[in-house]
A and B are shown apart, each in its own frame.
Chain A
């Protein structure tokens, strides 16, 4: 019985849904201490003095680490704090309540400095400089050019110039950041709410200057990350260092408000550009720059800008491009990857440009895309990205049919006659997933069951179910004979964790190849046992009328009666692969208030082989809502002085079930496989990428239906107040 392609409920469900899960803060170790951080109330300030004497004198306070503690604590590097909430000291205490009292008794003498939170202002001469060693807030600028954009612009029928803004978002997983470290005199054991246990291990070992073997990182159940738990934060290093120094377990768990202060934020990109196109709606050139609001440290800002630039041409034919990727320092927490990481922004930008061309030429938005799309892969985009497989023109057509896009438009028209204002938006996306190597070990257990250990680090996605399906099929055994384990650096020596929609493709392929190799080993052993060549099927090796089961071979090998490897490790190098598809969003606008409610998300995705349609649909649900929410609800606001005005869920709105639309995902019936053994391309980010671009168009469409005028939306999120103003202009 084949497992791949079937909607098998998550094997993780019982554990997660019936109270079996153990999150970081559920883990308690004997003698455990609690760590907390003193955080700057100023967005930018010189730290003149930290006085911890009163805190240290409080009974139960074990240690206070300050800028004077030096590396690897590394508080206030360069003698400054660069964003509101940046840590300046760490208190370690025997009790959590006492800890929070003690945090208030660490006195920091700040000299406030002028702050800048707007990346455009940060680029202007005279702006406060955040990193004096650079002498400017432009952390990095790199040109991506192809063809001759200037000439193509001058030969275009029309040239439009504008700025598109995607404001920052808070990743806001259910579980905030946290880490628990304990040193037993031999090994530093670190429990970490992370997406990348092996990277945490490497970073800690490097910071503490100890071999990898001295550090074991365990990822307990993790309540989401959305990219915000990719970065190894200074807090993780500091807690590990404190545990080592104090020889006691030390735990830190961020409160929700603290998480808003220290987490990496998502999105935060601006495209300033000129685009030229023909009167037939063909895009000829884009010249401009993608600016990342990188925050106080350019951990990831430049990478996000450059990903957005290299994916900006999408699957469109345009080859005359001249776009800079720029990262700009601002007095905010660092920018980081957030579900899609550069691709939602690229898609948002290019799809806004396609919609603009439709507006300017009077052509149908679908027709504009059709005229611009490359027929099919393989195709190398102007920046050298090699799209592996797919039919883009045909895919657009199938997507439009599967989503019933034109029926939805007609429905919006007839509803308008009945007094309801609906808006419909579509987007075509192509994105890049999967990178780097991944490690899997498949081990035969004595009873003929198999343990699969992987270096990916899923945290709710259900990858263990997908991998169990793949391995069960590869070994031709029932899925209940396969157990998938992960999240412990003692299980597999390396791995890159879970991000970039790569887990099932990279981790699954590594597991499939390891299983294949192990089966070969067992086949050789079976041949030795029966004394001739064997055929394998469904758990049994046969040679003529002789047969031996896989369990018998394993048992014989464990007892030393036959020689066989009982474990196989695969290090799999995973190339990038490119899913694509169509997303359609329907919203309802209340013209009296400007409030918008999402009603429906329909999609058509060619994400390669769908190992488990149930898991894939789950990714579509959450991902689409995140994309829509970025456009409709999530608004990070700073005041003039650089203070965060949306510091918690009372002010920052993330959608609840009451805001969720109806979801109707469709997957390609004849998907284009990736080159990987799994044939998968990844689905974790595709819906977020497609939905944001479609959602803003849907809002625009609704405003047009209400006013009869062409309005153009250039900023995400779209605030109800702005819509209200547009409705009355």
Chain B
């Protein structure tokens, strides 16, 4: 790796990190480094300073909280891959990220803050209806996942702010994440996370979210509507797929055309829902 020159500072606490980040508008927080380091290697970024938050141990945890979960920002993909509690979508999505080396280093907070439009976690936190907890120079705040992602590599994070926690208010009894990619663990052409509350074969409540399709991860609200209150079956799955395909704002790039992405968003939505329902 031959990046441009930068200073390095290892933060001892969240407050210490916030202070260091606030002092320097060109500083960047370094967590697992799985997105930041490649950008440095390519010299696509030239931060003046890296504030290494990777050793702040209190940010690495997964805890049950009522019917939900709290996940520390520095929890690695590998930690989540091993999670055996509620919110089964977490290990399911984690094992589809990168390779074992990447999963051992990369963190959920780092992935969310980086906001790659083809990343896996953004769809999952949207489907889980998560709150993103943020600490910053003007105190802590919470942003709903839906408001957090604003565009490619752009989030609600302000200067000096850090993600500290992902809060899932209530784990869905059924959930799934399906990624359509050229090969196992590649970036998503389309990925859909599903969170489902069903009883007696009826879908009472549902959240669907897609990644990889457009410029930012999105809730698939029309597809949710097609399923909400319906008896789970193949016809519903088809309607969900069709609605998902129609509602996404797909882009064309070197990986796929907008048309193909739209179709794959439908396939991913159908498969995610089917898998969540265990059909």
- Residue numbers of A with Cβ under 8 A of B are 96-97, 99-101, 104, 255, 257, 592-593, 595, 633, 637, 645-646, 648, 650-651, 653, 655-656, 658-659, 720-721, 724
Contacts and interface: CB of A to CB of B under 8 A. Distances in A.
Contact of B184 (A648, A658, A724): A658
A138 B43 CA distance: 38
Contacts of A99: 2
3 smallest A-B Cβ distances: which pairs? Answer: A658-B184, A721-B260, A645-B254
A593 B267 contact: yes
Residue from the set B186, B255, B267 with the largest chain A CB neighbour count within 10 Å: B255
Nearest to B264: A593
Contact of B267 (A104, A592, A656, A659): A592
Contacts of A633: 182-183
A245 B257 CA distance: 51
A689 B112 CA distance: 44
A101 B42 contact: no
Interface in B187-226: 187
Interface in B215-267: 254-257, 260, 263-264, 267
B180 A257 contact: no
A720 B183 CA distance: 11
Given A97-B3, A650-B187, A659-B184, 20 more contacts: A97-B5, A100-B2, A100-B43, A101-B5, A104-B43, A255-B2, A255-B41, A595-B180, A595-B182, A645-B254, A646-B254, A650-B38, A651-B255, A653-B183, A656-B99, A656-B183, A656-B184, A720-B182, A724-B260, A724-B263
B254 A651 contact: yes
Contacts of B42: 257, 648
Contacts of A645: 254
B158 interface: no
B279 to A, nearest CB: 15
A52 B180 CA distance: 48
B185 interface: yes
A659 B38 contact: no
Contacts of A257: 42
Contacts of A646: 254
B4 interface: yes
A721 B256 contact: yes
Nearest to B4: A101
A97 B2 contact: yes
B254 A637 contact: yes
B267 A658 contact: no
Contacts of B184: 656, 658-659
Contacts of B255: 651
A225 to B, nearest CB: 23
A659 B185 CA distance: 10
Contact of B182 (A104, A255, A653, A724): A653
Interface of B: 2-5, 38, 41-43, 99, 180, 182-187, 254-257, 260, 263-264, 267
Nearest to B99: A656
A503 to B, nearest CB: 32
Q: Which of B5, B41, B260 has the most CB of A within 10 A?
A: B260
A653 B184 CA distance: 11
SS class, residues of chain B in contact with chain A:
loop
B40 to A, nearest CB: 11
A257 B2 CA distance: 12
A611 B255 CA distance: 43
Contacts of B186: 653
19 contacts: A100-B4, A100-B43, A101-B4, A101-B5, A104-B43, A255-B2, A255-B41, A592-B267, A633-B182, A633-B183, A650-B38, A650-B187, A651-B255, A656-B184, A656-B185, A658-B183, A659-B183, A720-B260, A721-B260
A255 B43 CA distance: 12
A165 to B, nearest CB: 18
A506 B3 CA distance: 45
A104 B43 CA distance: 10
B111 to A, nearest CB: 15
Contacts of A648: 42
A100 B42 CA distance: 11
A648 B42 CA distance: 10
Contacts of B187: 650
B180 A593 contact: yes
A655 B180 CA distance: 16
Contacts of A655: 183
Contacts of A593: 180, 264, 267
A400 B242 CA distance: 45
B8 to A, nearest CB: 13
Contacts of A97: 2-3, 5
A105 to B, nearest CB: 12
Contacts of B41: 255
B270 to A, nearest CB: 8
Nearest to B268: A593
Contact of A721 (B43, B183, B185, B257): B257
A589 B245 CA distance: 22
Contacts of B5: 97, 101
A97 B4 CA distance: 7
B185 A658 contact: yes
Contacts of B257: 721
A255 B40 CA distance: 13
A97 B41 CA distance: 11
Contacts of A656: 99, 183-185
A100 B3 CA distance: 8
A99 B99 CA distance: 32
A96 B267 CA distance: 48
Nearest to A34: B2
Nearest to A97: B2
A645 B256 CA distance: 12
A636 to B, nearest CB: 10
A690 to B, nearest CB: 22
A651 B5 CA distance: 27
Contacts of A100: 2, 4, 43
Nearest to A725: B260
Contacts of A721: 256-257, 260
A275 B254 CA distance: 34
A96 B41 CA distance: 13
A724 B182 CA distance: 13
Contacts of A96: 2
Contacts of B99: 656
A656 B4 CA distance: 31
Contacts of B38: 650
Contacts of B260: 720-721, 724
B61 to A, nearest CB: 30
Q: Which one of A100, A257, A720 has the highest number of Cβ atoms from chain B below 10 Å of its Cβ?
A: A720
B220 to A, nearest CB: 18
Nearest to A649: B38
A111 to B, nearest CB: 25
A97 to B, nearest CB: 6
A100 B38 CA distance: 16
B51 to A, nearest CB: 20
A104 B5 CA distance: 13
A148 B263 CA distance: 50
Contacts of B263: 724
B39 to A, nearest CB: 11
B160 to A, nearest CB: 28
A724 B186 CA distance: 19
Contacts of A592: 267
Nearest to B267: A592
For A592, A645, A659, the residue with the greatest tally of chain B CB atoms inside 10 Å of its CB is A592
Nearest to B263: A724
A99 B2 CA distance: 9
